């Protein structure tokens, strides 16, 4: 029997992508023996409508720059190309239809998002064709987390080294002239300065 391909999907705004995202994706790849991790920068995510996002094309480019050194990381422009808001359900269904039953899908997410997971659109239907890998991230407590039996069966927790890095902190640092070196790949840092991103605080 041919072994199913194991594919991780890492969604996010990636405004900008940083080592928290990359370490998490790599840890998930290793731990769950994924063949590939696909980074999917969002178009207009439902929960971030108020925050003024950097144009999707630029977030996609930064994600590409950051993932070049990893053979198993690829980037998809699927959400970026869609005009509408993309819910995780829509994205995962599209990947499921693309890969068919030849692949097993794992949605990789940080613990902050897991706390909201029960409110996600069609979460129980999502578990029919997708598992979840939740990275525990410093500052988020999971003690009270209660999932449905269906979700519990498909939800795996994974600890990543304590990386308190966040995109919002990086944006704030750039606006305030603080260093961002070693928080994200150098190419992304250079892209940010070259294109004058995050000069004004918009959070």
Q: Which of 42, 52, 40, 45 is nearest to 9 (CA)?
A: 40
Q: What is the C-alpha radius of gyration for the chain, rounded to an integer number of angstroms?
A: 17
Which residue in the set 151, 163, 174, 183 belongs to the binding site for ligand ATP (CB under 6 A)?
163
Q: Taking CB under 6 A as the rule, which mask of x and - marks residues 85-124 in contact with ligand ATP?
A: ------------------------xx-xx-----------
Range 177-183 contact pairs with CB under 8 angstroms and sequence separation of 24 or more: 182/19, 183/18, 183/19
Contacting range for ligand ATP; rule: CB under 6 A; set: 7-15, 97-105, 117-125, 174-182: 7-15
* Region near ligand ATP per CB under 6 A, out of 10-18, 29-37, 122-130, 183-191: 10-18
Least distance in angstroms from the C-beta of 165 to ligand ATP: 5
Binding region for ligand ATP (CB under 6 A) out of 94-102, 148-156, 157-165, 178-186: 157-165
Question: Quick one: tokens of 192?
Answer: 């940010």
Question: Which of residues 62 and 93 has its CB atom nearest to ligand ATP in the complex?
Answer: 62
Which residues here bind ligand ATP, judged by CB under 6 A?
A: 12-15, 20-21, 24, 109-110, 112-113, 135, 137, 160, 163, 165-168
């Amino acid at each position: 029997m041919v072994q199913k391909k194991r594919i991780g999907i890492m969604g996010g705004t990636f405004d900008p992508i940083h080592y928290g995202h990359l370490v998490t994706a790599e840890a998930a790849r290793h731990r769950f023996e994924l063949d590939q991790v696909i980074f999917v920068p969002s178009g207009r995510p439902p929960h971030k409508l108020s925050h003024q996002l950097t144009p999707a094309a630029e977030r996609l480019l930064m994600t590409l720059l950051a993932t070049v050194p990893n053979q198993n990381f690829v980037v998809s422009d699927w959400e970026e190309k869609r005009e509408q808001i993309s819910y995780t359900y829509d994205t995962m269904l599209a990947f499921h239809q693309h890969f068919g039953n030849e692949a097993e899908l794992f949605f990789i997410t940080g613990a902050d998002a897991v706390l909201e997971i029960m409110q996600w659109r069609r979460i129980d239907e999502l578990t029919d064709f997708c598992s979840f890998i939740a990275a525990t991230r410093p500052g988020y407590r999971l003690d009270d987390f209660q999932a449905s039996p269906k979700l519990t069966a498909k939800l795996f927790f994974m600890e990543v080294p304590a990386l308190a890095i966040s995109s919002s902190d990086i944006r704030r640092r750039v606006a305030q002239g603080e260093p961002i070196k070693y928080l994200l790949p150098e190419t992304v840092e250079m892209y940010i300065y070259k294109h004058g991103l995050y000069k004004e605080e918009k959070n």
